[in-house]
Amino acid sequence: MIKPAILTKRIKLLALLPVLLMSIATSAAAQTYPSRTVNIVVPYAAGGSTDTTARLVAKGLSDQLGQTFIVVNKPGAGGQIAQGYVAHAPADGYTLLFSAAGPLTVTPHSYAKLPYDPLSSFKTIKLVAAVPLVLLVNPKLGVKTLPMLVEKAKHSSNALTFGSFGIGSAAHLAGELFKSLAKINLVHVPYNGSAPALVGLLGGQTDMMFDVLTTALPQIKDGKLVPLAVTSTTRSPLLPNVPTMAQAGIQGFESETWFGLLAPVKANDKIVQKLSQAMNVVLAEPKFKATLLAQGMQIKGGTPQQFNAFFHSEYKKWGKIAKEAGIQKH
């Protein structure tokens, strides 16, 4: 007959068995990861800077980890659709998020309710790059400098319009901040991504927009759009003749968008570390670096923990700016 003390110990061991088996299985999954296709979800339509950068990252990770990484575009609702999808996806490392700063740090301050908590729904993997915005106008508007645009906006019988990547995007907030600092009236026209917004500007549906320098460069070089100012503190080497917002007369205006790779918050730390280490190699690869630098981007990097701290600080910063700019929650 088994003694009560021994029986109790065996029962406790049996109770722990599922936990131990789960731990072993999780560890084994992390070691063999990735064993199938990995989806990288992007909150914008194909063709914009977030999408094109995500595709470079997907190619780099595919090369480094020997498995297919593909980009899945889920535009709409200022990034909510894509980010909500990833936030509630299985945390097995096979559904990742590649997002720009806007959907992560600006959109949350523009909506009363979100299907996820941006600060607690994701685990940061790698801060990839940062790039300034550039204020663009359609040549048909007839302005060539920022002061000319401000004057036209002040004396126009109909309010000028500005496009953006969507409500709560970095481009939207930049436009609202411009309105506030320049003391002009502008009407916001949201699109489902940078590429559609750019098409709207080219087609004359809007008068201006703040776009990521990366996406705007080809149109600027072809003379289809006129750049008036960049939103960084210094001029871009790709547009040396274009002033900063401050140099053009709008003081206190500074904004850069950034791109980062994230996973659902419960993703295994070993998988996150594996992806982070693979991204270190991708970011150091000469061709990858040259491609991003040619598009006006600054390579970032760092640890998942450093990205997490940066993400939280950016969220706080843009929350304050959104409130000061009078962004209304929907």
Element (H, E) at 189: strand 186-190
**Which residues are CB-contacts of 275 (< 8 A; sequence separation ≥ 6)?**
61, 93, 96, 125, 126, 261, 263
How many Å apart are CA 101 and CA 59, to the nearest integer?
A: 22
Q: Where in the chain is the domain with CATH 3.40.190.10?
A: 132-230
pLDDT tens string, the chain, 330 residues long: the values are 566 666 666 666 666 655 444 444 455 567 899 999 999 999 988 988 899 999 999 999 999 999 999 999 999 887 889 999 999 999 999 999 999 988 899 888 877 788 899 999 999 999 999 988 999 999 999 999 999 999 999 999 899 999 998 777 778 889 988 998 999 999 999 998 888 999 999 999 999 999 988 788 899 999 999 999 999 888 998 999 999 999 999 998 888 889 999 999 999 999 999 999 999 999 999 999 999 988 888 899 999 999 999 999 999 988 887 787 676 666
pTM given for the model: 0.76
Q: Where in the chain is the domain with CATH 3.40.190.150?
A: 32-131+257-325
Q: Are 79 and 43 in contact (CB under 8 A)?
A: yes
**Domain 132-230 = CATH 3.40.190.10:** yes
- CATH numeric code, 32-131+257-325: 3.40.190.150
How many Å apart are CA 320 and CA 310, to the nearest integer?
A: 16
Chain position carrying tokens 């209304």: 328
